[in-house]
Amino acid sequence: MRILLVITSLGVGGAERLLTSLADKYVSLGHEVVLAYLHGDVCIRPQDSRVCLVNMDLKKSPFGIVLGLGRMRNLILEFRPDVVNSHLVHANIICRLLRLVAPVPCLISSAHNTNEEGRGRMLAYGLTDRLADISTNVSDEAVLAFERERAVRKGRMVVVYNGVDPDVFRYDHKSRQAIREELGVDDSCALFLAVGRLCEAKDYPALLRSFKSIADAVHTKLVIVGDGPLRHQMMELSSSLEISDRVFFLGARNDIPALMSASDVFVLSSAWEGFGLVVAEAMACKRIVVATGCGGVKEVVGDAGYLVPPGDCDALARSMLQALELSCEKRGEIGENARQRVISKFSLDAAAGRYMALYAGATSNGGFF
């Protein structure tokens, strides 16, 4: 099967990590894969050289969009995919519009959140819904949210859980030692880790304030991995809270499994999430997880971690402290249960299998047009 994957960009985010892993998986199964991204630098890429990477160089202007659609039309005509699977809001809308000017055989639109950060985006989803053969989202809660907002007609969006490769995301003691040495953190220091874009959805102010309330009680530091529009603001907040000497802002990194291994507790403070792939990645690395129970995060964590209400700094701080107070034996037990939960329910193989079943179904039905 010839599969065209399209994503908005290839920054360091959960959807981007998932899609590059899926591309690798598809070519390993004998499929021909092109991965196109609309714009931006490549921070993460497929490992398999057989995946063809194409930059659409789409500019954020009406003329730039027209030129980008032209380049995408040429890609369709040249590659002649059996199926197009777009991911994230901009790629989803662009690929739907592409069907008006190019012979796209069948199109699957994949969203990755409960909230696309704006009524305009949800309206765009609703207006173009019929141009996709079917849409997917990453949790039951995310599908219900799209239906409530009328961004998709009921029954036209299905759940495909994100997947983690347990062979990549696993605890490694050598990586733990190397990262801690890089950071200048000794074994007596408890290390909290947060990974994700520095944007409104991730609610890093809640994390920083929660960390502030426990920072004097224990020997601990906080590592924040990711870039985004709020980075400078979060660094200023860290300084005003007088914790800047205990918080590392590392920016975008491509060694997430090693950073997971170096940490003791993984923290997600998000106000909203579709799935929380990074939580599943931490669980696969046997890390103790403290997370807000938003969106699909509840479905991921289950009883294998700590869940608190979004925006509740006191509850987040209490759970972070409780996680540090666990005995080594209890921490190992929770970590092993978390990894097994990911392997059984949220593996990359399971996600790839679900997508391939959708591709096969869409192509056998002849697509939208």
* CA 308 vs CA 112, 123, 216, 331, 336: distances in Å: 22, 31, 22, 19, 21
In the block, tokens 């940490």 appear at 263
Give the C-alpha separation, 110 to 317, whole Å.
34
Structure tokens at 86: 């777009």
Residue 337 CB neighbours (<10 A): 15
pLDDT tens over the chain, length 369 residues: 999 999 999 987 889 999 999 999 999 999 999 999 999 999 899 999 999 999 999 988 888 889 999 999 999 999 999 999 999 999 999 999 999 999 999 999 999 998 877 788 999 999 999 999 999 999 999 999 999 999 999 999 999 999 999 999 999 999 999 999 999 999 999 999 999 999 999 999 999 999 999 998 899 999 999 999 999 999 999 999 999 999 999 999 989 999 999 999 999 999 999 899 999 999 999 999 999 999 899 999 999 999 999 999 999 999 999 999 999 999 999 999 999 999 999 999 999 999 999 999 988 866 544
C-alpha 212/C-alpha 225 separation (Å) is 18
List the 107-110 sheet strands across, edge first.
52-55, 32-37, 2-7, 83-87, 107-110, 134-137, 157-159
Nearest to 285 by CA among 346, 340, 225: 340
Instruction: Kindly list the structural domains of the chain, giving each domain's residue range(s) and its CATH number in brackets, ordered by start.
Output: 2-163+348-364 (3.40.50.2000), 173-345 (3.40.50.2000)
Contacts of 14 by beta carbon, 8 Å cutoff, 6+ apart = 112, 162, 196, 275, 276, 277, 278
- What pTM value is reported for the model? 0.86
Pairing of strands 83-87, 52-55: unpaired
Chain-centroid distance, C-alpha 135 = 17
